[in-house]
Structure 1
């Protein structure tokens, strides 16, 4: 068994200091007789540096301390199921960890990151961009753009921007969705491409989502006023009212009449009028909590 582990830390993820995490991971590795190679991201040529370290040391495991964007970046960089990726969620909104029911203490998270209980998860390709968790166009993407331009981080920052976006966002847009040999023309405030169930805030947007089934869901929110928003926040997706429609598929195309805000895994990607979407089955091997 390969006892080398590459430890990738995003020092600015979530706006919190990572010293305690780094110290705890080092202590666990030392106690377990594991050689730890630590790399802190800088935002410049990180993928190239991580890939070089991976080829030099050939670790059996890569542990990531960061948010969903950092985790996704590691999956894209390594592109192999051979290495186990352990995660220590430390971003602003750790959607992947929330969806996989990770515990909240660093000690428990580290134990899982070094454990051999794994899951091979899918990703979604959207216009060639890989999405690990949840991506969308419309209201939430607009909110994320505002969040990125704001000064308050964490769930409070998301909450402030959510209220601001709901009260001042642009009206609904028209979209044509082609999937499973059928076409749907619909008005929408937001369309989600979901590989899993929950946003990092804990809000369930896709009750039937599974990260390893070779499928994804398109969740169309036709209306998203305060009433519908409140139901979603409380975990009651109003799928029987006509306000929400869910399509399960492995490939789709979405075309909008006007440019619409677009985000992938919590990172704003600009505006788009066409999305070509397909599932990428079993792209990454994650260490996950035992049942």
Structure 2
């Protein structure tokens, strides 16, 4: 009996037409004697539709053609099921793929996605929403919101929106953080909730990050000027202990003194004043090099 894989494609991620990618995946699967079911996301009940397709066909693997948002969608759909995800990173935001060293050629990625062993990744739960890579409160989330509204993509799009975001910058927020049996208070421009080490730009924001250790890190950036923020966007930041504090934990509560922008895995969510954060009991299997 032929193996059966489900292929989930985000047709608009990264501003790239996926037709040629689907053709290449189809040819690869045919040559490997694997049946595929192709599902293109529509932004309408995708999670439930992906789950239904999984339960109907019980594929051995699910191959994701997209970025962090598409991976998150698929992972939420199958979080309670034992199936391996393969990633072909073709999104606007490919932070998880960067962290997993998956920014390779299409041919290499297909072989990894179809055949390689996996890592069982932790899932962070933030106010009942799932995070598999990096979330944050503050200035970067504000940037993500501005970037989503703009037409210019890529690093330069981020950099231009970084300047616009900084020009509109208000006062820093004050965060009260209950973690590891104590409560601390800190002024901050940004707090990262990190399951991994790097943003999609390649910048190491959390050098202590291990994606399968049952912990996440809170990275508190107390001061953030144009130079430091530019380094974050362009992937060249140097960690400075006097400006950044990192706390490892498996559970935390953050409250802020006013509503602060919040993003998960590169997608803007909302303004929040409270985040309850924990590690999910479910892990996600992802094929790695």
Structure 1 and Structure 2 fold alike (TM over 0.5): yes
Cα offsets for 1:218-265 (capped at 9, x unmatched): 0000001134335654242112xx210000000000000000000011
TM-score by length of 2: 0.95
2:236 aligned residue: 234
Give the CA deviation at 1:162. Answer: 1.5
2:214 aligned residue: 214
CA distance in 1, matches of 2:156, 2:281: 34
Give the secondary structure class of the aligned counterpart of 2:47.
helix
CA distance in 1, matches of 2:87, 2:8: 10
1:152 aligned residue: 152
Written as runs of structure 1 = structure 2, the 5 A alignment for 1:35-114 is 35-80=35-80, 82-114=82-114
Output the aligned Cα RMSD. Answer: 1.5
Cα offsets for 1:180-227 (capped at 9, x unmatched): 001110000000000001111111110110100000000000001134
Shifted more, 3-12 versus 218-227: the winner is 218-227
CA distance in 1, matches of 2:150, 2:182: 40
Give the CA deviation at 1:131. Answer: 0.4
For residues 24 and 132 of structure 1, do their structure 2 counterparts lie closer, same or farther at Cα, with a shift above 3 Å needed? same
TM-score by length of 1: 0.95
Cα offsets for 1:94-137 (capped at 9, x unmatched): 00001111133111111111023110000100001000100000
CA distance in 1, matches of 2:116, 2:229: 39
Residues 162 and 229, structure 2, Cα contact 8 Å, conserved in 1: no
1:133 aligned residue: 133
1:267 aligned residue: 267
Give the CA deviation at 1:18. Answer: 0.9
Give the secondary structure class of the aligned counterpart of 2:245.
strand
2:143 aligned residue: 143
CA distance in 1, matches of 2:255, 2:52: 39
CA distance in 2, matches of 1:217, 1:38: 36
Q: How many residues align?
A: 287
CA distance in 1, matches of 2:227, 2:155: 21
Give the CA deviation at 1:282. Answer: 5.1
Cα offsets for 1:6-49 (capped at 9, x unmatched): 00000011111112211111111001100011011111121222
Give the CA deviation at 1:2. Answer: 6.9
Give the CA deviation at 1:65. Answer: 0.5
- 1:255 is aligned to 2:249: no
- 1:190 is aligned to 2:190: yes
Residues 133 and 265, structure 1, Cα contact 8 Å, conserved in 2: yes
Shifted more, 190-199 versus 147-156: the winner is 147-156
Give the secondary structure class of the aligned counterpart of 2:283.
strand
CA distance in 2, matches of 1:110, 1:170: 45
